[in-house]
């Protein structure tokens, strides 16, 4: 989760396909991407929900928090507002999932960080 344009989709693409797409478009609503991984010598299927960060989709995004095992909260190192808004995202997630861990990721580190 995180604001629009922070690079959530690109992080998922890197993890799943080892690809960076410079022509990536904003996510509309929510999409699910899966990847098979080996964890503790067992094959597991990881489902990652790629959520839209735009304000008009936030109520839809929150519906997908239920049952989440871990939340990856992404902000843009070039955008102070995206870091400030992490407070909103944490509160929104905690309203649904009290105990699931939240991992905070500062993205776009290939640019000079301003945050």
Q: What is the pLDDT along the chain (115 residues), one digit of tens a residue?
A: 999 889 998 998 898 888 777 776 766 667 788 899 999 999 999 888 887 766 655 566 677 788 889 999 999 999 999 999 999 999 999 999 999 999 999 999 887 667 6
Task: Give pTM, 2 decimals.
Answer: 0.81
Which residue ranges make up each domain of the chain?
Answer: 8-107
Nearest Cα residue to 75 out of 18, 114, 30: 114
Structure tokens at 9: 């989709």
14: part of which helix (H) or strand (E)? helix 8-17
Q: How far apart are CA 105 and CA 75, in angstroms?
A: 6
Nearest Cα residue to 71 out of 23, 27, 6, 8: 8
Q: Please tell me the CATH code under which domain 8-107 is placed.
A: 3.40.50.300
> pLDDT at position 65, please?
82
């Amino acid at each position: 989760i995180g604001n629009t344009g922070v690079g959530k989709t690109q992080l998922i693409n890197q993890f799943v396909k080892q690809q960076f797409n410079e022509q990536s478009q904003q996510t509309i609503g929510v999409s699910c991407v899966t990847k098979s991984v080996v964890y503790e010598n067992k094959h597991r299927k990881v489902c990652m929900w790629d959520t839209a960060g735009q304000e008009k989709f936030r109520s839809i995004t929150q519906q997908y928090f239920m049952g989440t095992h871990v939340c990856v909260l992404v902000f843009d190192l070039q955008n102070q507002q995206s870091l400030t808004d992490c407070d909103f995202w944490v509160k929104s997630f905690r309203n649904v999932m009290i105990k699931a861990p939240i991992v905070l990721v500062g993205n776009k580190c290939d640019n000079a960080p301003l945050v």
